[in-house]
């Protein structure tokens, strides 16, 4: 998991500190949210989430449903509950489910399996672009890295992670600017900038869906 960004959502400080130490020892970049509040604002660079189910702000299952409504990202649940109904609920919303207490080696193995299953090859091709999902970088046909601003990158990868799915302007705004203090045509402005940088002047890669929003399309 070297180089992957992992977000831990866990209210027990001793647990989150232990997890952070173990995962950083494996080369991961680790962030911690201790309440569950504001998680959607931390998703831009995250590759995987470790989510406790019992949280002070909201339960982990509800938060995960909100996350998956916005972006496709693997979630592993951590919980002290071990009844079958809780496990099944967790597996419906996430990639895996680990009951506390657990051995660090078991956690590392499951994380590596989920990362391998979800991301596969680090470099994938979409039309003329090469996309490094691990490092959130995009290369043109000459394998030169495309220079995005933070917001452009966030929108590009939101479309990419939901490839072949139409995202409304409201969804993009809510994901990119969760505070909502933006002008009406902000999405159109950024899509235009992104298209110019990825050489998609005619909107073949990032399609405009009239009256709705945008969709990134993969053409085999």
CATH number at residue 178: 1.10.10.10
Q: Give this prediction's pTM.
A: 0.63
Domain boundary among 101, 119, 137: 119
Angle at 78 between CA 77 and CA 80, to 5 degrees: 130
Helical residues (DSSP H) of the chain, grouped into ranges: 13-25, 60-70, 84-93, 104-119, 150-161, 169-176, 186-197
35, 82: one domain: yes
Q: Which of 133, 99, 98, 107 is nearest to 118 (CA)?
A: 133
Domain boundary among 119, 135, 155: 119
Number of domains in the chain: 2
Domain boundary among 66, 97, 119: 119
Residue 77: beta bridge partners?
51, 97
159, 205: one domain: yes
15, 86: one domain: yes
111, 133: one domain: no
The per-residue pLDDT string of the chain (220 residues; one tens digit each, 9 = 90 and over) reads 778 899 999 999 999 999 999 999 998 999 999 988 888 888 878 899 999 888 887 788 888 888 888 888 899 988 776 654 555 554 555 567 788 888 888 888 888 888 887 876 567 888 889 998 878 899 998 888 999 999 999 999 999 988 889 999 999 998 898 877 788 899 999 999 999 999 998 899 999 999 999 999 986 5
177, 104: one domain: no
154, 108: one domain: no
CA dist 35 and 37 (Å) reads 5
CA dist 31 and 20 (Å) reads 8
For residue 150, the enclosing domain spans 123-216
109, 131: one domain: no
């Amino acid at each position: 998991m070297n180089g992957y960004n992992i977000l831990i959502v866990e209210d027990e400080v001793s647990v989150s500190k232990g997890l952070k130490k173990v995962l950083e020892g494996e080369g991961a970049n680790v962030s911690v949210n201790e309440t569950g509040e504001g998680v959607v604002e931390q998703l831009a660079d995250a590759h995987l989430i470790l989510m406790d189910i019992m949280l002070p702000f909201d339960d982990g299952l509800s938060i995960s449903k909100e996350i998956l409504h916005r972006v496709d990202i693997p979630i592993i649940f951590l919980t002290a509950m071990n009844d079958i109904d809780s496990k099944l609920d967790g597996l419906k919303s996430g990639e895996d489910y680990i009951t506390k207490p657990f051995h660090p080696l078991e956690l590392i193995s499951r994380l590596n399996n989920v990362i391998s299953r979800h991301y596969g090859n680090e470099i994938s091709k979409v039309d003329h672009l090469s996309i490094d999902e691990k490092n959130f970088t995009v290369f043109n046909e000459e394998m030169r890295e495309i220079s995005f601003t933070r917001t452009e990158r966030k929108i590009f990868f939101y479309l990419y992670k939901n490839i072949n799915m139409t995202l409304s302007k409201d969804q993009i705004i809510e994901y990119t600017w969760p505070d909502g203090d933006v002008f009406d045509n902000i999405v159109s402005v950024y899509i235009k900038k992104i298209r110019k940088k990825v050489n998609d002047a005619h909107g073949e890669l990032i399609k405009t869906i009239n009256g709705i929003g945008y969709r990134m399309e993969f053409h085999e």
